[in-house]
């Protein structure tokens, strides 16, 4: 099926970077350059503490806001956590779930990530579900098995109707923040397997609407080739989303892809 039915999405995952006042400068620059275009979906995911400032600055633009995590309950005695309802009230559209850093440093399991995915849909947030293998898993030729298992677990009980609002991000763990990128062919191989899994699980029509982003040292120098692959529908950008110049360049490259 033709890739043209999907709009590219360039999403910036700021991770634990930028205070609210630092965010202000970055958001203003991004807004000024790519805030009005509609050809490419653009989303920024600042830390919780900069969401309100960012939301205010993005009002009236075409840039969407996302959070980097959430707790799968609407409210209650969960010290230190943030709920989907709270994120909606700050105009978040997306929420990154199951990022490898959360799996690794905070012990998040597929079952817990699944609770979050289901809760995000209930609050009309669009989850960006991250999957990806570690270096030792790639070396043991277990990449596809690991990715399938993360999809099975993370998307348990998700309906086809909900899946229309799903975004998947393939992020090979060994490529995150390391400067090592998967070659476009390596990435495409996994993206194609993710697509077939989605077809089996949600049917052709829905699966071909779901965007599969690549993440892992994506930057202007390597984005063009990655974005040209038939099943790469955008990027989840870490390091290169922290400077306006490189992030804007990535949006512009997606426009031309
Ligand atoms: P880098 O682009 O810094 O490698 O990070 C990728 C990532 O983890 C995005 O979620």
| N-to-C CA span, the chain | 17
Residue 239 CA to residue 73 CA, distance in Å, equals 30
Q: How far apart are CA 27 and CA 220, in angstroms?
A: 19
Q: What pLDDT is attached to residue 179? A: 87
DSSP 8-state class, residue 125: P
CATH superfamily of 3-256: Aldolase class I (3.20.20.70)
In the reported structure, the alpha carbon of residue 9 is separated from the centroid of ligand 1 by a whole-number distance in angstroms of 15
Ligand 1 geometric centre to CA of 238 (Å): 3
Q: Using CA atoms, how far apart are residues 44 and 241, in angstroms rounded to an integer?
A: 8
pLDDT of residue 249: 98
Annotation says 152 is catalytic: no
Instruction: Give the distance (Å) from ligand 1 centre to CA of residue 77.
Output: 32
Q: Are 32 and 9 in contact (CB under 8 A)?
A: no
Three-state secondary-structure class, residue 60:
coil
Ligand 1 atom showing the smallest separation from residue 236 Cα: 9
Active-site option among 99, 108, 137, 249: 99
φ, ψ for residue 213, nearest 5 deg: -90, 150
Distance from C-alpha of 54 to C-alpha of 201, rounded to nearest angstrom: 36
pTM: 0.98
Q: Tell me the pLDDT of the chain (257 aa) as tens digits.
A: 678 899 999 999 999 999 999 999 999 999 999 999 999 999 999 999 999 999 999 999 999 999 999 999 999 999 999 999 999 999 999 999 999 999 999 999 999 999 999 999 999 999 999 999 999 999 999 999 999 999 999 999 999 999 999 999 999 999 998 988 889 999 999 999 999 999 999 999 999 999 999 999 999 999 999 999 999 999 999 999 999 999 999 999 999 99
Helix axes 143-154, 110-122, angle to 10 degrees: 50
């Amino acid at each position: 099926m033709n890739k043209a039915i999907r709009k590219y999405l360039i999403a910036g995952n700021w991770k634990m970077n930028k205070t609210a006042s630092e965010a202000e400068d970055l958001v203003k620059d991004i807004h000024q350059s790519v805030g009005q275009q509609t050809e490419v979906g653009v989303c920024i995911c600042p830390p919780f503490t900069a969401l309100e400032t960012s939301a205010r600055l993005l009002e009236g633009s075409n840039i969407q806001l996302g959070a980097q995590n959430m707790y799968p309950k609407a409210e209650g005695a969960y010290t230190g956590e943030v709920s989907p309802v709270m994120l909606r009230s700050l105009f978040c559209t997306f929420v990154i779930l199951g990022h490898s850093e959360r799996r690794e440093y905070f012990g998040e399991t597929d079952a817990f990530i699944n609770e979050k995915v289901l809760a995000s849909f209930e609050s009309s947030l669009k989850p960006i579900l991250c999957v990806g293998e570690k270096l030792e898993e790639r070396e043991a030729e277990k990449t596809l098995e690991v990715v399938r298992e993360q999809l099975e677990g993370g998307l348990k009980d998700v309906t086809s109707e909900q899946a229309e609002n799903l975004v998947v991000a393939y992020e090979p763990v060994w490529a995150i923040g390391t400067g090592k990128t998967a070659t476009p062919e390596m990435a495409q191989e996994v993206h194609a397997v993710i697509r077939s899994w989605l077809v089996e699980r949600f049917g052709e029509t829905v699966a071909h609407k779901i965007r599969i982003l690549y993440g892992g040292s994506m930057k202007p120098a390597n984005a063009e080739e990655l974005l040209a692959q038939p099943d790469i529908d955008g990027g989840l950008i870490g390091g290169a989303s922290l400077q306006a110049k490189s992030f804007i360049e990535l949006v512009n490259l997606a426009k031309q892809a």
